[in-house]
């Protein structure tokens, strides 16, 4: 009886341990963004969406004498941005700032241009660099 119970427990553990674990897939940055290119966009904040998984910042930018709408995708989640001091209060509507990041491989529909942001430079000169991009581009994380 003991042997049977012991074998049953071993078999149950083997079945549980051998089952596939759930996989959490996410799209790759390389699929959508030109990682080898960096652009800088200076404009005025028109809308801030601090929602997970990808907060967004909308900016009005002047290009060739025309106003162009940019959608700045922030690769960090809301909590990640807060660690760098980036909140709705620090990114107010009407603020002028420069964002550095990677351009998209293809423009989306609707006429807005995109940028995957890795750094912010505020009007007062304060710069905030997100994540490991700092090491990749030899930029200090925060000035």
Buried b (16+ CB within 10 A) or exposed e, 112-121: ebbbbbbbbb
Q: Model-level pTM?
A: 0.67
How many Cα atoms occupy the beta-carbon half-sphere of 74 within 13 Å?
Answer: 28
The CATH number of 29-136 is which of 3.40.50.1220, 3.10.20.30, 3.40.640.10, 2.40.50.140? 2.40.50.140
> Is the model more confident about 40 or about 113?
40
Residue pLDDT, tens place only, 11-46: 545 545 555 544 444 555 566 677 788 888 899 999
**Angle at CA of residue 69, ends 80 and 139, nearest 5°:** 40
Q: Is 137 in a helix, a strand, or coil?
A: coil
Q: What is the pLDDT of residue 141?
A: 41
What is the pLDDT at residue 94?
A: 95
Domain extents in the chain: 29-136
**CA distances (Å), origin 76, targets 16, 28, 130:** 34, 14, 8
**Calpha distance 119→98 (Å, rounded):** 8
DSSP state of 123: T
Q: Which two tokens stand for residue 105?
A: 């491989």
Q: Among positive and negative, which fits the CA dihedral 111, 82, 97, 48?
A: positive
Using an 8 Å Cβ cutoff, are 80 and 100 in contact?
A: no
Tokens for 118, please give them: 């890795």
């Amino acid at each position: 009886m003991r042997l049977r119970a012991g074998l049953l427990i071993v078999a149950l553990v083997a079945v549980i341990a051998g089952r596939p674990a759930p996989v959490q897939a996410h799209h790759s940055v390389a699929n959508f963004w030109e990682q080898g290119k960096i652009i800088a966009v200076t404009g005025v904040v028109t809308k801030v969406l601090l929602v997970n998984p990808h907060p967004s910042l909308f900016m009005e930018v002047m290009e060739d004498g025309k106003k162009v709408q940019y959608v700045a995708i922030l690769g960090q989640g809301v909590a990640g941005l807060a660690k760098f001091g980036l909140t709705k209060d620090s990114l107010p509507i009407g603020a002028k700032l420069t964002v550095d990041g990677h351009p998209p491989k293809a423009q989306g529909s609707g006429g807005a241009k995109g940028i995957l942001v890795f750094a912010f430079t505020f009007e007062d000169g304060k710069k905030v660099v997100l994540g490991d991009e700092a090491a990749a581009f030899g930029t200090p994380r925060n000035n």
